[in-house]
Amino acid sequence: MKEFEFIAIARDLFKSRKKEVVYGAGDDDCAVIKLNDRYLVLSSDMLHEQSDFPKIMTPFEIGWMSVAVNFSDLAGSGVKPEYFIFDICLREGIEDSFEEILKGVKALCDRYDAEVVGGDVDFGDELFIVGFALGFSDRVVVQSGAKAGDRVYITGLTGKSQLALEYYLKGYDREEIPFVSSLVMPEPKVKEGLMLTHTANSMTDISDSLAVSLHNIASRSNVCIEIEAMDLSELLEFVDYDKALELFLYGGGDFELVFTSDSEPEVGIEIGRVREGKGVHILDDIKRTVEFRGYSHF
Amino acid sequence: MKEFEFIAIARDLFKSRKKEVVYGAGDDDCAVIKLNDRYLVLSSDMLHEQSDFPKIMTPFEIGWMSVAVNFSDLAGSGVKPEYFIFDICLREGIEDSFEEILKGVKALCDRYDAEVVGGDVDFGDELFIVGFALGFSDRVVVQSGAKAGDRVYITGLTGKSQLALEYYLKGYDREEIPFVSSLVMPEPKVKEGLMLTHTANSMTDISDSLAVSLHNIASRSNVCIEIEAMDLSELLEFVDYDKALELFLYGGGDFELVFTSDSEPEVGIEIGRVREGKGVHILDDIKRTVEFRGYSHF
């Protein structure tokens, strides 16, 4: 079974019952609960050494990353992270790095004036960090809001993190890896997400790949997305066009946002349009279908 | 370093800054955030196979337990759990049990009309489940509210789970283990906690041991606690008095609540009183000091 099959089981079992639950298990990037006058928005992600922390990451970067994945989910909903809770399982040999990991957590929380309010410390054979982030908003942007006529935007070029990962896996030293900070200390697009709370019709962060995020928007909004233009020059400095396109569409680990809007957004690079229909296509030399695939772990 | 030393590092680093944060990292059982007219109360706990799931537990019970530890934290604050999020790391060989684990999660959530609103599925070498529960309340009972003159109560006899664990570790079959349900499928005292929201001056759940919980109340409230009476007969069917007292005071894994009150509570077994002073004492044949120790994992 694959991850999405497990998620499908969970979604079936945990169908929302309470009327306050606007988006529940498996519905969108975050859980959304209606309070009196606003929404409570919740996100959680589990990271562990084996899949999520390349050995070149410092303890500070590990802590930072554990916050970044959660803040990125909230950013993709146009919501500011306010509070963070994290549970950590330490293993032998890493205990001395505890404070550095925490400093990484704190640095990214401080950057967006979010506060760590709790957590749990445990001990085992592998480093695990599980984060919970929450925020409040008067509007939540979800994947299902795209409309025919919208333009499609990204906050930055995707594929950099995947390229960095491939250099890492080939054994390059940290200082030789292009875009290494995309891999080890990504910046969640919190500011950009907040600028878009009221101008984006649909939005999500890009974690598995741009292709997966676009497919999610297209299928949940019941529309077709066409990619028309993209400037891959930053990637083309290192790889040929076909590889650059592969990285751009299917590379994982970027912390960019993708969104659609029918007005002029304050931020974002236009890459395409939303039409009536289904699926995700790319209009380069030949019109191709964008596959539903990506990379979520190294 | 021990767990509390790590927690001390975290508490120092994550001192509360926002005025809405009534209790933050390391302050009490739960994080407490002031909303307009009520409190948002948050709890999180990490469980994993190696330390928290004896092999006799079924997948259903593992799911149940992952909810129970979090609901118990909220119950100990007098708060009803409303929403639950959980992240699970599956290992090879346990994937077929996924749905049963989820059914255990759902069973305990349904029991208290709480709803699962999100989570994450991951894969690794060991089963990890990390839960995050939240609720709302107009009052939150904390450890620091005990007053000289209060009486001390527990919701049920402690030591049963530890006794069951010792039988398990000696190799007894499941059906031969006394109080086995205390070990594998404990009932968090949600109903009792809610009855006490407005009558308890201080309260906490008992996870490491009654001794640890009493010491936390005593030191945070700046009072002395004296244990005067306890009916250990359920334990005395299996062990002698000294062992029963050891289990009662220092056994871990019970999901009871301990609280203090200056009025007549609707629920609870009176075991002692709060005086001015410091520390925790037991007034049996000889007046002894209760040590600060317990068992948190098997």
Q: Report CA dihedral (A157, A158, A161, A164) to the nearest 10 degrees.
A: -70
- Rounded to 5 degrees, what are φ and ψ at B192? -65, -45
Give the Cα separation of B46 and A86 in Å (integer).
10
* Whether A49 and A126 share a structural domain: yes
Q: What's the pLDDT score for residue B295?
A: 75
Tokens 């309070």, located at residue: A35
A120 appears as a binding residue in the annotation: yes
Q: What's the pLDDT score for residue A148?
A: 98
Last residue of a domain, one of A122, A137, A152: A137
pLDDT along chain B (298 residues), means of 10: 79 86 86 92 95 95 97 97 96 92 97 94 94 96 97 97 96 97 96 97 95 96 94 96 95 96 96 97 84 76
Give the Cα separation of B153 and A208 in Å (integer).
51
Record: contact A46-B17, CB cut-off 8 A = no
Q: What's the pLDDT score for residue B124?
A: 94
Q: What's the pLDDT score for residue A15?
A: 85
Mutate to test the interface with B, among A4, A29, A45, A115 (most CBs of B within 10 A): A115
Q: Tell me whether A12 touches chain B (CB under 8 Å).
A: no
* Whether B73 and B93 share a structural domain: yes
Q: Which structural domain range is residue B158 located in? A: 143-289
Asked whether residue A296 is domain-assigned, the answer is no
* Whether A127 and A159 share a structural domain: no
Nearest-5° Cα angle at B157, B228 to B247:
85
Contact between A35 and A136 under an 8 Å Cβ cutoff? The reply is yes
**What are the tokens at B111?**
């029991």
- pLDDT exceeds 70 at position A159: yes
Tens digits of residue pLDDT in A39-94: 999 999 999 999 999 999 999 999 999 999 999 999 999 999 999 999 999 999 99
Strand partners, B133: B43, B84
Tens digits of residue pLDDT in A98-144: 999 999 999 999 999 999 999 889 999 999 999 999 999 999 999 99
Question: CA B53: distance to chain centroid?
Answer: 16
pLDDT tier for residue A5 given thresholds of 50, 70 and 90: confident
pLDDT tier for residue A179 given thresholds of 50, 70 and 90: very high
pLDDT tier for residue A296 given thresholds of 50, 70 and 90: low
Asked whether residue A297 is domain-assigned, the answer is no
pLDDT tier for residue A175 given thresholds of 50, 70 and 90: very high
Contact between A279 and A208 under an 8 Å Cβ cutoff? The reply is no
Asked whether residue B296 is domain-assigned, the answer is no
Q: Tell me whether B127 touches chain A (CB under 8 Å).
A: no
* Whether B93 and B22 share a structural domain: yes
Bridging pattern class, strands A257-261 and A269-275: unpaired
Residue spans of beta strands (DSSP E) within chain B: 21-23, 31-34, 39-48, 83-91, 115-124, 128-137, 151-154, 202-205, 224-227, 257-261, 269-275, 280-283, 287-289
Record: contact B25-A99, CB cut-off 8 A = no
Record: contact A25-B120, CB cut-off 8 A = no
Report, as an integer, the average pLDDT of A293-297. Answer: 73
Q: What's the pLDDT score for residue A298?
A: 55
Q: Helices B160-169 and B241-250, interaxial angle, to 10°?
A: 110
Q: What's the pLDDT score for residue A171?
A: 96
Last residue of a domain, one of B117, B137, B157: B137
Tens digits of residue pLDDT in A261-272: 999 999 999 999
**What are the tokens at B37?**
């007219």
Tens digits of residue pLDDT in A194-214: 999 999 999 999 989 999 999
Contact between B252 and B158 under an 8 Å Cβ cutoff? The reply is no
- pLDDT exceeds 90 at position A2: no
A44 appears as a binding residue in the annotation: yes
Contact between B41 and B142 under an 8 Å Cβ cutoff? The reply is no
* Whether B55 and B127 share a structural domain: yes
* Whether A103 and A41 share a structural domain: yes
* Whether B149 and B252 share a structural domain: yes
* Whether A95 and A168 share a structural domain: no
Q: What's the pLDDT score for residue A30?
A: 92
* ipTM value: 0.93
CATH number at residue A188: 3.90.650.10
Asked whether residue A240 is domain-assigned, the answer is yes
* Whether A233 and A99 share a structural domain: no
Give the Cα separation of B114 and A256 in Å (integer).
34
Mutate to test the interface with A, among B11, B12, B14 (most CBs of A within 10 A): B14
CATH number at residue A65: 3.30.1330.10
Give the Cα separation of B64 and A289 in Å (integer).
44
Give the Cα separation of A121 and B11 in Å (integer).
12
Last residue of a domain, one of B74, B105, B137: B137
Q: How far is CA B40 from CA A83, A137, B139, B153, B193, in A?
A: 11, 15, 10, 26, 16
Strand partners, A272: A152, A227
Instruction: Identify the three-state secondary structure at position B202.
Output: strand
Tens digits of residue pLDDT in A204-251: 999 899 999 999 999 999 999 999 988 999 999 999 999 999 999 999
Residues from chain B that touch A51, judged by Cβ atoms under 8 A, are 122-124
